[in-house]
């Protein structure tokens, strides 16, 4: 039950022999060593494992790796530029206290990115709606909202740029 | 997670044929938000998962402007419905229900068809489709048949689908003018919440403001999503005002078969039906007024 | 963010600045390594089998099928655990039970295998025959004579650890009171829900020394526990190294060592390979500890002018099946009970009672939230009875600096009144709310300068400078996201005239870092901060001494700022600190600059009579809530929330606000939505859908005014603030609900069901 899949991962073309029952989270973390994507529940209830598949935020713990075939996948590892500078959203989470223990952070940032890519001007209510599936136990969310709001402008300017 | 083989047919016929070949050990998978959880937990142990994702026609969302009929492919995701302006404007009850299912991540992959066929009493997607007199188009080895969505459910996790049958799409008959509809999921939190109780109301008024059609549909009020027929019958033919809606709420609450569970108490669920039938009813009336 | 918080502490260049968390970029990039991410060559995976019953005798265990299963390296049962390997406060809890189980979370077997899947399968092959026993799940019933015994040899379910105090004369004071109120309050189980689940990786080297990677808030005490474990295993004179990976949330959950850590050690020893055990989410809910549920009886009174006369409280705590540090929470409850507001006559009696439920542990606030819920709810009830405005009532009884409370707490700095005023200013409390809307207030006192529970309340720090002006500081303190890394760096940078980014804070390895009692009791800023400051001062003195010779001026004239060592009145005499360090080093008889400092605060252990100044200073706060109650559904919406705290000094307002916001939201969950539902000992909601943490959509508007009282003993005047955010939240909400709709909910969480039922009762 091995299948070969090809997909675009953070801009790189990947071809991988996978088992049909692997989740995308398993493929990323356990097979490919991309530990940035976190598992907080394994059941779709916390958002720590959020990655972007064809522009949509999904829980990689419930998403089968076989279904990544032909898709464009973005994970937290792909956000910073190749020179290492942080993506505006990452920088904004750093600057605005959006990160405490950091376990929710990769998922939180990926959900935020999917939101701002689609809706660069998202307001507080839209941010809350989009992040409702990402649980954070540390921050009480306020500084996370502030982080996303503060990142709004640069992300728009950056569209089509290196980080896209 | 248990190992399985993943198949991705491109037509309904092919999917049914695959299923035929592997019968007992095969399962259909839509978005997988229910299936994967079940396989992980060991409640479902398929050797084959037959994905419906590559069957293009099943992902179509389309309104026939000539007939006014709405067709929702079973593989249409909650997010697609949520983002559709047509749905938001013309079928507010669908929007109300799907926009608060789980989280955005769940809505981005979870499908309306999976929501129906999973058949839990709390399925948010079922309520609006019942209220809108939706019809499910099923396709099996012996061809197609139609079942009203309200008749789809037998028990928790059980539908009338025969083995190998696929839910292809749901059609919604044209809406009459002067119709309003609304849904509320009552829970403790604002998101990521299975409803403690779900209440959907649809009202159609005649030109003289009497009620021509009423639908009161309840989730978690019985082992399957249910219609409160007594309350609906009570409303039809009456001039609708707040007092009438209060009365309808009481009747609906009495009709419901709510139970105590770890999520909520029966008496409170009854109360919530009572209160929200009125509130959703008033919302419908306002919608109708606004659209005059 | 409140505007005023930007203007705090402007006299310093690093302290008081909103400097982002030092490890945030690493975390933002997904590069931080948590226990989940640790992979060692040859590593095996351990899994634990838990009891099938809440209370049962183990009749027979057959592990043969599991042992024979391909890929399995070891299977352990209670028989394989050395007799002296015990955990918990009174060492009553072996990591794997034998003979008898007394809760569903009791470990009965464990497996190590080449993959987590195989380990899990092998667990399923272990056959156990149980003889079920009658369980006891209600602590008040468990106190009755004929109740089933959780531990037969103890003859009673009541722990032999009585908490009994009487300061002043409560009976007399009651007689003389003008107004007296009496009520019963209950709180239920809630749990930490760290987003990163628990886990450990254990391995032995060729000489049988242990290295254990584990999520812990108490590296030094864990080190001691594991040394004892090795001893029990017959491994005398071996070394233990505890390494903390990045921790995905603590909140008190990691203040003890647990079965999974000991089991990982046993498996690693048996297999001669590294063994990793990481909990899945269900396990995290079922096999980690909760906050203690309490039943509280409170009676308090005041004179006709509103001055509190006495407070008399009695509590029953559900201890669960085993005794962890949770059983000592009454020592902290004692603090608000004796010392929140001025009250001379105080009586407190607490009993911890064994049941067949899950056992409890420390959780943010350490008993304070439960006690404050009762006290502050009762304060409002009493104020109403006495006919005194709620705010005024609190002001009359406020703590003041210079006070010594009946328990012997010495109040040094105290900004309680300013906190109350800040809440009043934001929320008005003018009674002019629309229908169904109300406001509530509740205050708090918490240890802010350490808490002497062990023999030592100390923390060590070792500081070394390189040749270029950078610092490595090795601290005993623990960062688990709360920001101790920044606090340490900012304090050291301020003292040495550097930037926070010049300071590398190492806090993760007992081979390198000195001793610390642990990241609890909101003590790290104060104690670890003072340790770091002490070390920095010593190095500064060395720099000044050296510069004094170099510049030929007295030491006192030399300042350190902006990475320069200079004499303010003589511009010529200035040098970058890097250059100075090189001058000190690269010469015959040269030296590098380093220092160590161990800071143990001058606070007191409570003696037998439970008196003593347990902390060097106390943090104060007042919280205010504005809520809207839907009178038809019972649903409570929090419209506005104000959490004002006296923090001594805000070393970093950005992180401080983060602590407050996070604490408040955790407190709101405690007040309104969170509850581990346990039925006959069994946890019914071990998932995030049914255990209801606030989501982003539930998030509330919070203001966090900061009151600076510049504590004389705190580093730069700072006091601890890690826990207070979640201490008075529940009573603030309960009081606001009462103000809004006139019903008093005395049992947490305040669900729509409870509110609606109370409204129905009130309205007949
Ligand atoms: C975190 C989380 C939160 C959730 N919150 C909610 C919520 O708030 N409200 C709610 O109602 N649900 C909720 N769900 C449940 C679930 O997401 C929905 O029911 C979803 O719509 C299921 O769709 P799916 O495509 O993922 O179904 P799948 O998991 O793919 O399938 C579900 C079932 O339907 C069958 N099936 C699927 N499609 C077809 C078809 N076309 N024909 C025949 N059989 C089919 C499958 O064999 C399976 O038995 C939640 C789930 C998660 C994980
Ligand atoms: S790990 Fe995927 S949602 Fe929690
Ligand atoms: S920062 Fe710890 S869970 Fe969000």
pLDDT in tens, C133-150: 999 999 999 999 999 999
Nearest CB to C688 within list A39, A45, A109: A45
Q: CB-side exposure of A60: number of CA atoms within 13 Å?
A: 32
How do residues B95-146 score in pLDDT, each as one tens digit? 999 999 999 999 999 999 999 999 999 999 999 999 999 999 999 999 999 9
Separation CA C476–CA C716 (nearest Å) = 20
CB atoms within 10 A of CB C431: 9
> Is residue C623 within 8 Å of residue C441, measured between CB atoms?
yes
What's the rounded mean pLDDT across residues C116-128? 97
Closest CA to B195 of B111, B258, B131: B258
Enter the CATH code of domain C294-452+606-762: 3.30.365.10
B250 to chain C, closest Cα gap in Å: 14
Separation CA B86–CA A18 (nearest Å) = 40
CATH T-level topology, domain A88-157: DNA polymerase; domain 1 (1.10.150)
Nearest CB to A133 within list B5, B8, B103: B103
If you average pLDDT over every residue of chain C, what do you get? 96
Q: Are B188 and B253 members of one domain?
A: yes
Number of domains in chain B: 3
**Is A133–C248 a contact, with Cβ atoms under 8 angstroms apart?**
no
Separation CA C251–CA B153 (nearest Å) = 45
pLDDT 10s per residue in chain A (164 long)?
799 999 999 999 999 999 999 999 999 999 999 999 999 999 999 999 999 999 999 999 999 999 999 999 999 999 998 888 999 999 999 999 999 999 999 999 999 999 999 999 999 999 999 999 999 999 999 999 999 999 996 544 444 444 33
Q: Which CATH number does the domain housing residue B35 bear?
A: 3.30.43
Q: Is the pLDDT of residue B19 over 50?
A: yes
Q: Are B104 and B183 members of one domain?
A: no
Closest CA to C736 of C296, C382, C436: C436
3-state secondary structure (DSSP) of residue C437: strand
Strand pairing report for C636-646 and C702-703: parallel
Q: Are B75 and B140 members of one domain?
A: yes
pLDDT of residue C731: 98
> Considering only CA atoms, which residue is closest to atom 33 of ligand 1?
B118
CATH T-level topology, domain C458-599: Aldehyde Oxidoreductase; domain 4 (3.30.365)
Ligand nearest to the CA of C284: 2
pLDDT of residue C4: 53
Residue B81 CA to ligand 1 centre (angstroms):
15
CB atoms within 10 A of CB C32: 26
Q: Are B183 and B216 members of one domain?
A: yes
Residue C288 CA to ligand 3 centre (angstroms):
19
Closest CA to B169 of B138, B203, B128, B215: B138
Whether the CB of C756 is below 8 Å from some CB of chain B: the reply is: yes
Confidence of residue B264 (pLDDT cuts 50, 70, 90): very high
How do residues C36-87 score in pLDDT, each as one tens digit? 999 999 999 999 999 999 999 999 999 999 999 999 999 999 999 999 999 9
* Residue position matching structure tokens 């502030």: A146
Chain A hits for C246, CB-CB cut-off 8 Å, are 101-102
> Considering only CA atoms, which residue is closest to atom 19 of ligand 1?
B115
Chain B hits for A133, CB-CB cut-off 8 Å, are 102-106, 191-192
* Residue position matching structure tokens 């962890």: C324
What's the rounded mean pLDDT across residues C112-121? 97
**Is C1–A135 a contact, with Cβ atoms under 8 angstroms apart?**
no
Separation CA C386–CA C400 (nearest Å) = 23
How do residues A108-125 score in pLDDT, each as one tens digit? 999 999 999 999 999 999
Ligand 3 in reach of A102 Cβ (< 6 A): yes
3-state secondary structure (DSSP) of residue C134: coil
CB-neighbour burial class of residue B82 (10 A; exposed 0-12, middle 13-18, buried 19+): buried
pLDDT of residue C5: 60
Q: CB-side exposure of C127: number of CA atoms within 13 Å?
A: 4
Confidence of residue C3 (pLDDT cuts 50, 70, 90): very low
What is the location of CATH 3.90.1170.50 in chain C? 35-133+198-278
> Is residue C97 within 8 Å of residue C58, measured between CB atoms?
yes
B19 contacts: CB under 8 Å, gap ≥ 6: B26, B28, B50, B163, B164
> Is residue C506 within 8 Å of residue C474, measured between CB atoms?
yes
pLDDT of residue B216: 98
Whether the CB of B1 is below 8 Å from some CB of chain A: the reply is: yes
Q: Which CATH number does the domain housing residue B140 bear?
A: 3.30.465.10
3-state helix, strand, coil split of chain C in percent (to 5) is 30, 25, 45
pLDDT of residue C8: 60
B10 to chain C, closest Cα gap in Å: 33
Whether the CB of C673 is below 8 Å from some CB of chain B: the reply is: yes
Strand pairing report for C345-354 and C308-320: parallel
Separation CA C414–CA C704 (nearest Å) = 17
How do residues C317-370 score in pLDDT, each as one tens digit? 999 999 988 899 999 999 999 999 999 999 999 999 999 999 998 999 999 999
Separation CA C46–CA C59 (nearest Å) = 24
Residues with CB under 6 A from ligand 2: A 39-42, 44-49, 59, 61
> Is residue A72 within 8 Å of residue A8, measured between CB atoms?
yes
State which of B12, B28, B104, B187 you would mutate to test the pocket of ligand 1, scoring each by most atoms of that ligand within 8 A of its C-beta.
B28
User: E strands, C145-198, where?
Assistant: 163-167, 179-187
Domain ranges of chain A: 2-78, 88-157
Whether the CB of B32 is below 8 Å from some CB of chain A: the reply is: yes
C388 preceded by a cis bond (ω within 30 of 0) = no
Q: Are B44 and B144 members of one domain?
A: no
User: E strands, C448-591, where?
Assistant: 459-465, 471-475, 503-506, 559-561, 564-567, 570-576
Enter the CATH code of domain C35-133+198-278: 3.90.1170.50
What's the rounded mean pLDDT across residues B244-269? 96
pLDDT of residue C508: 86
Q: Which CATH number does the domain housing residue B251 bear?
A: 3.30.390.50
What's the rounded mean pLDDT across residues C596-616? 93
Enter the CATH code of domain A2-78: 3.10.20.30
Q: Are B263 and B193 members of one domain?
A: yes
Q: Are B97 and B127 members of one domain?
A: yes
B45 to chain A, closest Cα gap in Å: 11
Q: Which H helix or E strand runs over C354?
A: strand C345-354
**Lookup: tokens for C394:** 């609190």
Q: Are B267 and B225 members of one domain?
A: yes
What's the rounded mean pLDDT across residues C401-421? 97
pLDDT of residue A158: 46
Q: Between helices A88-95 and A142-157, what is the axis angle to 10°?
A: 150
C315 to chain A, closest Cα gap in Å: 29
Range of the domain at B69: 57-172
Closest CA to A3 of B44, B7, C117: B7
**Lookup: tokens for A64:** 């089968």
Q: Which H helix or E strand runs over C622?
A: strand C618-629
What's the rounded mean pLDDT across residues B54-61? 98
Whether the CB of A19 is below 8 Å from some CB of chain C: the reply is: no
CB atoms within 10 A of CB C172: 12
A86 to chain B, closest Cα gap in Å: 24
Q: What is the predicted ipTM?
A: 0.96
Separation CA C638–CA C627 (nearest Å) = 4
**Is A101–C194 a contact, with Cβ atoms under 8 angstroms apart?**
yes
CA distances from residue A103 to A155, C26, C543 in whole angstroms, order as listed: 23, 11, 40
User: E strands, chain B, where?
Assistant: 5-7, 26-29, 48-51, 61-63, 70-73, 135-140, 143-148, 153-155, 158-159, 166-172, 179-186, 197-205, 211-219, 226-227
If you average pLDDT over every residue of chain A, what do you get? 93
What is the location of CATH 3.30.365.10 in chain C? 294-452+606-762, 458-599
* The residue count for chain B: 292
Whether the CB of C763 is below 8 Å from some CB of chain B: the reply is: no
Q: Is the pLDDT of residue B207 over 90?
A: no
State which of A41, A50, A97, A103 you would mutate to test the pocket of ligand 3, scoring each by most atoms of that ligand within 8 A of its C-beta.
A103
Closest CA to C464 of C513, C527, C519, C529: C513
* Residue position matching structure tokens 């926070």: C500
Q: Are B252 and B230 members of one domain?
A: yes
> Considering only CA atoms, which residue is closest to atom 3 of ligand 3?
A136
> Is residue A61 within 8 Å of residue A49, measured between CB atoms?
yes
User: E strands, B220-275, where?
Assistant: 226-227
3-state secondary structure (DSSP) of residue B27: strand
């Amino acid at each position: 039950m091995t299948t070969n899949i090809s997909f675009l991962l953070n801009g790189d073309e990947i071809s991988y022999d996978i088992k049909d029952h692997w989740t995308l989270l398993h493929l990323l973390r356990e097979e490919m060593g991309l530990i940035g994507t976190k598992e907080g529940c394994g059941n779709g209830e916390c958002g720590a494992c959020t990655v972007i598949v064809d522009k949509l935020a999904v829980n990689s713990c419930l998403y089968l790796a076989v279904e990544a075939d032909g898709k464009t996948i973005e994970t937290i590892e792909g956000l910073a530029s190749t020179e290492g500078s942080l993506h505006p959203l990452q920088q904004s989470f750093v600057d605005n206290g959006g990160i405490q223990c950091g376990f929710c952070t990769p998922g939180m940032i990926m959900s935020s990115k999917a939101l701002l890519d689609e809706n660069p001007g998202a307001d507080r209510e839209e941010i809350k709606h989009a992040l409702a599936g990402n649980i954070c136990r540390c921050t009480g969310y306020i500084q996370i909202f502030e982080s996303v709001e503060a990142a709004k402008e640069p992300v728009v300017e950056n569209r089509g740029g290196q980080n896209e | 997670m248990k190992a399985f083989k993943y198949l991705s047919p491109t037509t309904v016929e092919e999917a049914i044929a695959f299923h035929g070949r592997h019968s007992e050990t095969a399962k259909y998978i839509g978005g997988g938000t229910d299936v994967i959880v079940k396989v992980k937990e060991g409640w479902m142990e398929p050797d084959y998962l037959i994905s419906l994702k590559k069957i293009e026609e099943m992902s179509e969302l389309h309104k026939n402007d000539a007939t006014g009929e709405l067709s929702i492919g079973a593989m249409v995701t909650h997010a697609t419905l949520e983002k559709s302006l047509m749905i938001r404007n013309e079928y507010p009850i669908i929007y109300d229900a799907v926009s608060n299912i789980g989280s955005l991540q769940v809505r981005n992959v979870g499908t309306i068809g999976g929501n129906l066929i999973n058949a839990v009493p709390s399925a948010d997607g079922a309520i609006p489709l019942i209220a809108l007199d939706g019809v499910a188009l099923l396709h099996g080895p012996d061809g197609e048949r139609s079942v009203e969505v309200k008749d789809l459910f037998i028990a928790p996790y059980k539908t009338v689908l025969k083995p190998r049958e696929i839910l292809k799409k749901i059609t919604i008959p044209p809406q009459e003018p002067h119709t309003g509809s609304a849904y509320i999921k009552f829970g403790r939190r604002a998101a990521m919440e299975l409803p403690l109780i779900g209440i959907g109301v649809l009202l159609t008024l005649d030109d003289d403001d009497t009620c021509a059609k009423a639908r009161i549909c309840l989730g978690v009020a019985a082992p399957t999503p249910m219609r409160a027929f007594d309350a609906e019958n009570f409303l039809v033919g009456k001039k609708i005002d707040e007092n009438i809606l209060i009365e309808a709420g009481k009747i609906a609450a009495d009709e419901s078969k709510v139970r105590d569970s770890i999520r909520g108490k029966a008496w409170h669920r009854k109360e919530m039906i009572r209160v929200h039938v009125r509130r959703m009813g008033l919302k419908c009336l306002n919608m109708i007024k606004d659209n005059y | 963010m409140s505007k005023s918080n930007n203007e705090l502490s402007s006299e310093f260049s690093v302290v008081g600045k909103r400097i982002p968390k030092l490890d945030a970029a690493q975390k933002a990039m997904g590069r931080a390594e948590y226990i989940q991410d640790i992979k060692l060559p040859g590593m095996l995976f351990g899994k634990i089998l838990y009891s099938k019953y809440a209370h049962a005798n183990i009749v027979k265990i057959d592990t043969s099928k599991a042992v024979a299963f391909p890929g399995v390296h070891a299977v352990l049962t209670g028989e394989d655990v050395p007799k002296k390997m015990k955990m918990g406060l009174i060492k009553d809890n072996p990591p794997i039970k034998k003979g008898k189980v007394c809760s569903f979370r009791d470990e009965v077997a464990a497996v190590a295998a080449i993959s987590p899947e195989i380990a899990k399968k092998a667990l399923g092959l272990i056959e156990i025959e149980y003889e079920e026993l009658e369980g006891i799940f209600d602590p008040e019933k468990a106190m009755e004579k004929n109740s089933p015994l959780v531990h037969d040899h103890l003859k009673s379910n009541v722990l032999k650890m009585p908490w009994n105090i009487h300061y002043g004369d409560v009976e007399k004071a009651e007689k003389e009171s003008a107004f007296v109120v009496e009520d019963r309050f209950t709180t239920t189980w809630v749990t930490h829900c760290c987003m990163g689940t628990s886990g450990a990786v254990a391995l032995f080297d060729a000489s049988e020394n242990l290295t254990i990677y584990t999520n812990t808030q108490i590296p030094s005490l864990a080190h001691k526990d594991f040394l004892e474990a090795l001893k029990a295993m017959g491994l005398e004179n071996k070394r233990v190294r505890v390494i903390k990976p990045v921790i995905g949330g603590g909140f008190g959950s990691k203040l003890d060592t647990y079965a999974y850590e000991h089991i990982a050690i046993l498996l690693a020893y048996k297999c001669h390979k590294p063994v990793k055990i990481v909990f899945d989410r269900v396990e995290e809910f079922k096999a980690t500890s909760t906050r203690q549920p309490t039943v509280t009886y409170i009676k308090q009174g005041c004179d006709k002018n509103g001055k509190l006369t006495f407070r008399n409280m009695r509590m029953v705590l559900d201890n669960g099946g085993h005794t962890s540090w949770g059983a000592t929470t009454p020592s902290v409850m004692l603090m608000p009970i004796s010392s929140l507001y001025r009250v001379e006559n105080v009586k407190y009696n607490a009993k911890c009672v064994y049941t067949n439920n899950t056992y409890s542990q420390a959780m943010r606030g350490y008993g304070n939230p439960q006690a404050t819920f009762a006290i502050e709810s009762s304060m409002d009830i009493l104020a109403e009875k006495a006919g005194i405005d709620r705010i005024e009532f609190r002001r009359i009884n406020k703590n003041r600096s210079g006070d010594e409370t009946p328990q012997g707490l010495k109040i040094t700095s105290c900004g309680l009144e300013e906190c109350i005023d800040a809440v009043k200013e934001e929320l008005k409390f003018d009674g002019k709310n629309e229908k169904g809307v109300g406001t509530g207030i509740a205050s708090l006192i918490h240890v802010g300068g350490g808490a002497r529970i062990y023999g030592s309340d100390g923390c060590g720090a070792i500081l070394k400078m390189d040749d270029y002006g950078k610092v490595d500081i090795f601290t005993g303190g623990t960062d688990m996201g709360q920001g101790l890394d920044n606090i340490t760096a900012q304090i050291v940078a301020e003292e040495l005239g550097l930037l926070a980014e010049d300071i590398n804070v190492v806090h993760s390895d007992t081979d390198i870092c000195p001793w610390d009692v642990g990241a609890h009791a909101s003590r790290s800023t104060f104690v670890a901060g003072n340790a770091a400051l002490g070390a920095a001062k010593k190095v500064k003195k060395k720099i000044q001494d050296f510069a004094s010779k170099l510049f030929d001026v007295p030491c006192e004239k030399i300042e350190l700022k902006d990475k320069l060592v200079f004499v303010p009145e003589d511009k010529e005499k200035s040098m970058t600190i890097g250059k100075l360090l090189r001058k000190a080093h690269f010469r015959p008889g040269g030296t590098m600059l380093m220092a160590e400092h161990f800071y143990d605060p001058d606070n007191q252990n409570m003696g037998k009579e439970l008196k003593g100044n347990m902390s060097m200073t106390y943090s104060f706060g007042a919280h205010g809530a504005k809520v809207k109650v839907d009178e038809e559904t019972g649903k409570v919406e929090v419209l506005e929330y104000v959490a004002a705290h006296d923090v001594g000094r805000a070393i970093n307002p950005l992180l401080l606000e983060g602590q407050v916001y996070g604490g408040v939201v955790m407190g709101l969950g405690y007040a309104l939505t969170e509850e581990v539902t346990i039925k006959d000992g069994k946890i019914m909601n071990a998932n995030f859908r049914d255990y209801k943490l606030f989501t982003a959509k539930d998030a509330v508007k919070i203001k966090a005014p900061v009151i600076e009282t510049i504590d004389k003993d705190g580093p730069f005047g700072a006091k601890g603030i890690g826990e207070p955010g979640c201490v008075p939240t529940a009573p603030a909400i309960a009081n606001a609900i009462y103000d809004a709709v006139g019903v008093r909910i005395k049992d947490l969480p305040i669900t729509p069901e409870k509110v609606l039922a109370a409204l129905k009762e009130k309205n007949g």
